[in-house]
Structure 1
Amino acid sequence: MHTLIASPFLGQYLVLRPGHVKGVGIPETRYEELRAAVDVGRPAPSWLNDAVTAAWGTPLPAGDLGDLLLVRDPSPYGYGKASWEINLGCDHDCGFCYLGEKRFEGLEWNDKVRLLTMLRDAGVLWLQITGGEALIDRQFAAAYEYANDLGIMVQISTNGSQLHKTRMQELFARLRPYRLTVSLYGATAATYDAVTRNRGAWDRFSRGLDASREAGLPVRLNIVISDENAHEIDDMVRLAEDRWSFPYQVFSNMSPTIRGEASPLASQAAKHLKPRRVFTGCNAGHTFFHVDPHGIASICKIGRDPSVNLMTEGLTALPRLGNIAESLQLRTGGCSGCTKVGICRTCRPLAKLYQEAGDNRSLYCQHGGYGA
C-alpha cells in the first residue's frame, strides 16, 4: 500500500497522505519530477522528504520511491470530487430519511470495480462513500480497499451501527479514511432507538463511537435534530464534546425525499429551523458529481434527473452533466419571475423537490416567510 499520492486536482498538483485531510501543494514541475522518478526508479528527492516531515511530522519511510508513492495521471474530464451511494439499504428506519424507500440493491462486484476505475479516470481524488448505510454492504470493505488502491482519498458517511465490530475497526486501522462522518440521532437509548426504529441501536452506536475514539479515527458527528429528539439537543452536544471529543455540526432542516415525497417534513422540529445561507451557485456537475447504486451519475444527490448512465454509456457521457447542471438551475415552475433571486437561500433542484412535496413555502422560500 502506498504511503503518499501525487495527483493533479482541478488545475493544481497535490501530495497527499491517505487517511489525512491535509495535503501539500506542489508546482507542475515537481509533479512531473515525481512521475519521472517513479518511472525510472530514482530515489525520492530531498524536497519531498522535507515536505512530508513538515506536513505530517514524520520523515518519508525508507524504501524505493515507487513502493511509497502512487502518482496519478492527469484526466481530461476535469472532475475532482464525487459521492457514491454504494447501496441504499439501511439497518435503520428513520422517518426523516431523505432517501424515502431504501431498497437493498446495487452493482455486482465486477461493475463496482469498473465504476471506481471510471471515477479515478474522471479525475476524482476525493470520494464520499455513502448509502443507505454503506458499511452493511457485503462488498463495502473490498470496494473501500480498491478505491484506496486506485489512489482515491475516501470519506465515509455512516450511521455508526457497524463501528463496534472488530473487523471494521481493523479495516480502518489498516486503511484509515480521511474522515468518518457519523450521524447522531439521540443522547439516550430510549430516544435513539425510537428515532431509528431499531431496538439496541444506541448500544451498538455508542460502543462503536467509543472504539473509534480509542483508535483515534477521524470522526465528525452530524447531530440530526427532529421532533423526536429535539429535547436532547444539549445532551447530544455534550456527548460530542465531552464523551467523544469529536467535532460536530448540527442539522435541523428536513427536506423532501429524492422523489419529492413530503413524509420527512413531518419530522421537522419547527422551532429549530435555521435559515440557509444565500445560494450563490455551486460546482455540481462541473467539478463534482454523484453516483447512485446502479452507476447512474447526476449533478448531485438532490438534482438526480436528468442523469447519465455510466455503466451503459461509459465515461464519455460524463461531460453532459455540465449542461444538465445549468438547465437545472433555471428558475421555472413556482420560481419563475421570482423577485428575490439575488437573496434566495435554496438551490433550484431543492426548491423543485419542495414544490413536488406540496409547496409549503414556509420551509424553503422567503416569499413564504422562511428566513425573513
Structure 2
Amino acid sequence: MPAPTHELIASPFLGKYLVLRPGDSSGVKVQAHHYLELGQRASTRAPLPGWLRDAARRRWGLDLADRTTDEALLIRKESPYGHGRASYEVNNGCNWACNHCVYGAKRHEGLAWPARARLLHILCDAGVLWIELGGGEATIDRHFLETYALSYDLGMMVELLTNGSTLFRPRMLELLTSRRPYRVTLSIYGATEETFDGFTNRPGAFRKFMRGLAAAHEAELPLSLSVVITEKNAHEAPAMRALAERYASRVREYTHMSPTFTGGAEPLAQQAPEYLHSRTPFTGCDAGHTSLNVSPFGLATVCKVSRDHPIPLLKEGVAGLARLGGISDRALQRHSGCSGCALQKSCTTCMPLVTLYRKAGSPLDRYCQHA
C-alpha cells in the first residue's frame, strides 16, 4: 500500500483547531480563521501560508517551502459531534494467556473488512482525531494492516497497544515507519525469560517481546512501556523498571489488578498485596461525552469499563452516539452503598469499576477506603 503524502493534519478538536504531525504527539493550536484559510488554500492548490511553514519549522524541523497546501496538508472537516478520542478493540484474541488479563475469554473474532472500513469512517465522521488500536492483541488480527493504514489515511493520530510479539516482522515495520504512530505502548511482564514466559503462559514469549521491542526502538518508533506488577513477577520489579527505562522515556507502572470486563474475579488473584497503595481521588471524567470505546463488533460504549447499553454503530451510524453522553452520566452516578458515603469526594474508584469489583466478589480493600 503506497504511503500517503500528507506531512501534517489540520483538524477541529473539541472546540479548538490543531495542526498535528503524524507520528508526533505535539501539535500547534491555530485560530478558526487560520483553519478556514488552510481549507481555502487547499481547494486552489495554493502554497502553504508563511505562518504555517514557520510553525512547522519551529515545532518539527520541517521544511515545507516547496509544497502546496493540498500536498502537504490533510484537512479534517468539522463534525457536529464532539467525540475527539476513541479506543477500538480490533480483536479480543491474543497469542498469550496472561492470568491478569481483564478480557477473560480471548476469542479471535471481529468485523470483516468492509464493515470495519465503514466503522472507521463513522468514527472519523464523529470527530475522532486520536484513536487507540488495541485488543486483545491487535497485530495478530487478519485485517490489522488495513485497519491501521485506513485509520492513518483518514487523518487520525494512531496509538498502538501491543504485546510486541510481531513488531519485528518486515511488513509490520514497513507499515509503522511509513505511517508513523504517535505512540506504541507495550507492557513488560518480566525481566527474565523464565518469569516473562511464566507470566504469559507461553514459552518463547520473552524472546519475541525483546525482538519486537528492539526492532521498534531501532526504527525510532515513539515507545511507551507499562511495567505490570503482580504476585508472579513482583520479585523482578526493579529489573523490569530498569529494562523499561533503557528503551523508553515514557514509563508507567500498573500494580492494581481489576476484574475482567464481565466481572470475573480471576485477575484479582494475581494481585501482589505489597503493591496495593493509595491512588488519587476520582473527580470525574468526560468518557462518553468526548471519548468512547468500540468493541470488535462495532458496539460503542462509554469506555472499556462501562459497557452497558452499547450502541451498534454499523446499524445506527454516527447519529447513535448522541445517546452516549446520557448513558455516561447515569453510569457514573453513585448508587447502592456508595450513594450516601461520606468519603465520596476522596474516593479513588469510579462507579462502573466499583460495580465490576462487586460483581467479582472482590475484597473491599481493592477498591474502597472503608476497608
Class of the TM-score when normalised by the shorter of the 2 chains: over 0.9
* Equivalent residue, structure 1, for 2:326: 323
Residue of structure 1 in register with 2:342 after alignment: 339
Shift of 1:246: 4.0
Pairwise CA distance, 1:29: 0.4
Partner of 1:196: 200
Residue 155 (1) aligns with residue 159 (2): yes
Q: Structure 2 vs 1, CA of residues 114 and 245 (structure 1 numbering), >3 Å: closer, same or farther? A: closer
Q: Which residue of 1 aligns with 2:185?
A: 181
* 1:360, distance to aligned residue in structure 2 (A): 1.6
Q: Deviations over 1:204-259 (max 9, x none)?
A: 110111111111110100010011000000001111223x2442111000000000
Is the 1:118–1:315 Cα contact (8 Å) retained in structure 2? yes
Q: How does 1:1-372 map to 2 (within 5 A)?
A: 1=4, 2-60=6-64, 62-242=66-246, 244-368=247-371
Instruction: For residue 203 of structure 1, report the CA deviation from its aligned partner.
Output: 0.5
Q: SS in structure 2 opposite 1:366?
A: coil
Q: Distance in 2 between matches of 1:110 and 1:347?
A: 36
Deviations 1:154-185 (A, max 9, x none): 00111111112122112111111000010110
**Distance apart, 1:269 and its partner CA:** 0.5
When normalised by structure 1's length, the TM-score is 0.97
- Once the two structures are superposed, what CA deviation does each residue of 1:119-138 show, in whole Å capped at 9, x if it has no partner? 00000000000100011011
| Structure 1, unpaired ranges of 5+ | none
- Report the AA paired with residue 27 of structure 1: Q
* 1:61 to 1:353, Cα distance in 2 relative to 1, 3 A: farther
Report how many residues are paired.
Answer: 367
Q: Do the aligned residues in 2 keep the contact of 1:254 with 1:265 (CA within 8 Å)?
A: yes
Given that 1:255 and 1:354 are in contact with CA atoms closer than 8 Å, whether structure 2 keeps it comes out as: yes
Residues 334, 355 of structure 1: 8 Å contact kept: no
More divergent stretch after superposition (158-167 vs 110-119): 158-167
- 1:311/1:245 Cα in 2 relative to 1: closer, same or farther (>3 Å)? closer
CA distance in 1: counterparts of 2:303 and 2:228, whole angstroms: 21
Q: Is the 8 A contact 2:224 2:248 kept in 1?
A: no
Give me the TM-score of the superposition, normalised by structure 2.
Answer: 0.97
| Alpha-carbon distance in 1 for matches of 2:249, 2:195 | 21
- 1:80/1:123 contact within 8 Å kept: yes
Q: Which amino acid aligns with 1:24?
A: V
AA of the residue aligned to 2:7: T
Structure 2 Cα separation of the partners of residues 61 and 134 of structure 1 = 38
Which range moves more in the overlay, 140-149 or 166-175? 166-175
Per-residue deviation, 1:274? 2.5
SS at structure 1 position matched to 2:370: helix
Tell me the CA shift for residue 68 of structure 1.
Answer: 1.3
Q: After superposition, what is the alpha-carbon deviation per residue over 1:250-277, rounded to whole angstroms, capped at 9, x for unaligned?
A: 1000000000111100000110112221
C-alpha displacement at 1:278, in angstroms?
A: 0.2
- 3-state SS of the aligned residue for 1:86? strand
Question: What's the CA shift for 1:334?
Answer: 3.3
